[in-house]
Amino acid sequence: MDENIITLTLSDGQDIDFECADAVEIDGENYVVLIPVDEKVEGVVVMKEVVDENDPEYADYLAVEDDALFNAVIAKFKEQSGDEYEFVD
């Protein structure tokens, strides 16, 4: 399996595969941008990396729900990725 592909389980139990497209840093915090592998699935997921204080090698990832932060991460992602992805507003 491709190491850039992760599977998220939705609240309804449905599993969806996402490509980890890029990592973005904003104000010293790290975020990952996830794009659905299946082109029929719409939407992008942004997750914040939360490093375990007791084990810096381990991190959890939490979905970003704040619209302003989500938009800031996506804007930086677009800037970083250049022409690698096609964006539809």
3-class SS of residue 71: helix
pLDDT in tens, 3-34: 789 898 888 998 999 999 999 999 999 999 99
Residue 30 CA to its chain's centroid (Å): 10
Q: Are 20 and 8 within 8 A, CB to CB?
A: no
The whole model's pTM is what?
Answer: 0.83
On the question of pLDDT at 73 being above 90, the answer is: yes
Is the pLDDT score of 44 beyond 70?
yes
* CA distance linking residue 18 with residue 38, whole number of Å: 8
Per residue in 40-54, is it b (16+ CB within 10 Å) or e — as a string?
eeeebbbbbeeeeee
